[in-house]
């Protein structure tokens, strides 16, 4: 039952709401409308298996063509002046460890829903820059992510289309009482963990794209501290419960190593610029 989850007593409540409490005062993201073009009949909500099989996303790495590969693009998000900017100086692992009094599925459901909302919010801040012309493929490093429709047909879509597919599907899953129950006594489906893994894989794709393609815009908006903290929190969570294959996340291993290491203690507890 998702709604019963509460933060562990040992952790400050504000740490669970950092993305909301520390947003700049002048920040007002555009609300993304949920699209349900893939299922207007509502039949996809009958059981979790139908929703699980509705769409499948796979990745396709660029194939060698015999030509000398171009010089690797500089990863601006790895520069110390950016990686040191976080919303909180706190070991995020303390936030993801399963509390003794909480059921595993409830914990996964609560955190997965939270990460979906936060990553959707983070993407909305740069969505005006992520257009079909600017991002003609859902790319991150040397990887292009393709979307597979309900018939198994591979679709090479633009990045905004891919993200829209992801957010629409995840929105449908997390609001389905048969999959993410919120009523007391309602059981989670047997396929719940596999669905959570699929959701987390999709959300990782979105984060990777933001870093690889839209990090400069994020810095210009002074929101890289929020992105860094969100990414680190998400990676620590999926690692704790083995929700995403390490091979899937290897393209961001260098960033994960930096951001998932707690910052050294200092008198200044928050490196984010106050406004």
Tokens, residue 34: 């949920």
CA distance 153 to 104: 35
Give which of 243, 181, 179, 201 is closest to 51, Cα–Cα: 179
CA distance 180 to 161: 25
Q: How far from the centroid of its chain's Cα atoms is residue 198's Cα?
A: 11
Enumerate the known binding-site residues: 130, 135, 209, 214
Distances (CA, A) of 271 to 24, 83, 89, 263: 14, 10, 8, 10
Distances (CA, A) of 250 to 75, 147, 170, 194, 273: 15, 20, 23, 20, 31
**The length of the chain, given as a count of residues:** 275
CA distance 136 to 46: 34
CA distance 2 to 61: 37
SS3 215: helix
Enumerate the known binding-site residues for Zn(2+): 130, 135, 209, 214
SS3 26: coil
CA distance 191 to 78: 37
Residue with the two structure tokens 């909302």: 117
Give which of 113, 133, 125 is closest to 200, Cα–Cα: 113
């Amino acid at each position: 039952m998702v709604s019963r989850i509460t933060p562990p007593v040992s952790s400050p409540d504000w740490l669970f709401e950092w993305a909301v409490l520390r947003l700049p005062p002048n920040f007002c993201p555009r609300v993304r409308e949920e699209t349900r073009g893939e299922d207007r009949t509502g039949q996809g909500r009958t059981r979790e298996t139908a929703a699980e099989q509705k769409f499948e996303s796979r990745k396709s790495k660029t194939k060698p063509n015999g030509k000398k590969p171009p010089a690797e693009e500089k990863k601006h998000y790895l520069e110390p002046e950016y990686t040191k900017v976080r919303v909180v100086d706190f070991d995020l692992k303390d936030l993801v460890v399963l509390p003794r009094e909480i059921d595993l599925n409830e914990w996964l459901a609560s955190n997965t829903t939270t990460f979906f909302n936060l990553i959707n919010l983070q993407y909305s801040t740069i969505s005006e820059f992520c257009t079909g012309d600017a991002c003609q493929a859902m790319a991150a490093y040397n990887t292009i992510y393709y979307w597979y429709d309900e018939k198994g047909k591979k679709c090479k879509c633009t990045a905004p289309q891919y993200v829209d597919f992801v957010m629409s599907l995840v929105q449908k899953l997390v609001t389905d009482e048969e999959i993410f129950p919120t009523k007391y006594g309602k059981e989670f489906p047997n396929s719940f963990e596999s669905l959570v893994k699929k959701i987390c894989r999709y959300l990782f794709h979105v984060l990777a794209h933001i870093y690889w393609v839209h990090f400069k815009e994020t810095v210009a908006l002074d929101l890289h501290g929020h992105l860094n903290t969100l990414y680190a929190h998400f990676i620590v969570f999926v690692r704790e419960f083995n929700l995403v294959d390490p091979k899937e996340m290897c393209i961001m291993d260098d960033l994960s190593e930096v951001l998932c290491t707690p910052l050294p203690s200092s008198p200044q507890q928050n490196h984010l610029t106050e406004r």
